[in-house]
Structure 1
Amino acid sequence: MEIKPRPNHSIYIQTLRNMTPEQRLQKAFELSAFTKDLFLQGLRKRFSDKTEAEIKAICLERTDKCHNRNY
C-alpha cells in the first residue's frame, strides 16, 4: 500500500541508473556531508548557549550511539 504518491520516483531511479559508479559515489559523499551539516546546524540551534567545542562533543556522542557495533 502506497502511503504517499511518488510521481517522480521512476525519474529518480532512471537518473541513478544513468550515473556512473563514480558519480553515484560522489553523490553519496555529498548527501553524507549535507546530512552532517544539517545535524550540526540543528544542534547549534538547540544548544545555542554551548561553545563550538561543546557542540562537536555532543555531535560525536550522539553519532557514537548510532554506530553499528554488529561487526
Structure 2
Amino acid sequence: MSAAIHSRAEGSEPTGDPKPYPNHRLYLQILRRMTPEERLRKAFELSDFARSLFLQGLRRRFPDASEEQIRRIYLDRLSRCHNRNY
C-alpha cells in the first residue's frame, strides 16, 4: 500500500485519496460538540437533502415523466442500490 494510506497529511484523510480536506478537523470538532439528538437531526436533514437531489436529477433526466413515473424510477433505482457494497 502507498504511504498516503498509512499517513495522515495535514487536512487530508488516510484513504489514499489525494484530495485535501482542509475543513475536516473543524467538521469533526463541530460534530463532537453536538448532542446525539442534534447529530440524529442532522443525519435526517442530510438524508432528506440527498433524496431531494436524487429526485431533482431524475426530473432533469426524464423531463417528460409524470410525478408517478418519477416515483417509480426513484424506487427502482433505490432497490438496485439496496444492500450493495460500495
TM-score, structure 1 as length reference: 0.92
Q: CA–CA distance in 2 between the matches of 1:5 and 1:50? A: 40
Structure 2 counterpart of 1:67, one-letter code: H
Q: What residue in structure 2 maps to residue 59 of structure 1?
A: 74
Structure 1 counterpart of 2:48, one-letter code: A
Structure 1, unaligned stretches of length 5 or more?
A: none
Structure 2, unaligned stretches of length 5 or more?
A: 5-16
Q: What residue in structure 1 maps to residue 45 of structure 2?
A: 30
Q: What residue in structure 1 maps to residue 83 of structure 2?
A: 68
Q: What residue in structure 1 maps to residue 35 of structure 2?
A: 20
TM-score, structure 2 as length reference: 0.76
- Deviation beyond 6 Å, 4+ runs, structure 1: none
* Number of aligned positions between the proteins: 69
Greater RCO, 1 or 2 (C-alpha within 8 Å, sep 6+): 1
CA RMSD of aligned residues (A): 1.2
Structure 2 counterpart of 1:65, one-letter code: R
Q: What residue in structure 1 maps to residue 11 of structure 2?
A: none
Question: Which string of whole-angstrom CA distances, capped at 9 and with x for unpartnered residues, describes residues 27-60 of structure 1?
Answer: 0000000000000000000000111100000000
